[in-house]
Amino acid sequence: ETVMTQSPATLSVSPGERATLSCRASQSVSSNLAWYQQKPGQAPRLLIYGASTRATGIPARFSGSGSGTEFTLTISSLQSEDFAVYYCQQYNNWPPWTFGQGTKVEIK
């Protein structure tokens, strides 16, 4: 099983600042990595797939990078609606499809 590890667990950021979230895979997942956003009481929403491709309707302030075992999600200028939990997921080595434990982005 490919274990996904996200850091940090919690990120405190002021509105307008940049947020950088990390995700590490226990073995290579190539570029088969997705990022999801989840707000309280809501289902997750796809943000990024293929490590760096934004999903339909996702603002340009969200960007993804990386390949192999190291990945990054960057939110260039945090808006109020961006405070949420973010999960990475690998879909290269399946089954199982595996998620990171999540990074909570909170208001500083």
CB closer to other proteins out of 16 and 41 = 41
Beta-carbon count within 10 A of 17 CB: 12
Residues that bind other proteins (CB under 8 A): 32, 34, 36, 38, 42-46, 49, 55, 87, 89, 91-92, 94-102
Facing residues of 24 across strands? 5, 70
Cα dihedral 107→61→23→13 (10° resolution): -20
Indicate the residue among 16 and 95 with the shorter CB distance to other proteins. 95
Which CB atom, from 36 or from 82, has the smaller least distance to other proteins? Answer: 36
Locate tokens 């307008």: which residue? Answer: 16
The minimum distance between CB 79 and other proteins, in angstroms, equals: 22
Query: Please, what is the minimum distance in Å from the beta carbon of residue 55 to other proteins?
Result: 7
| Least distance between other proteins and beta carbon 20 (Å) | 20
Q: Which is nearer to other proteins, 16 or 43 (CB)?
A: 43
Residues 6 or more apart in contact with residue 43 via CB below 8 angstroms: none
29, burial (CB in 10 Å: exposed 0-12, middle 13-18, buried 19+): buried
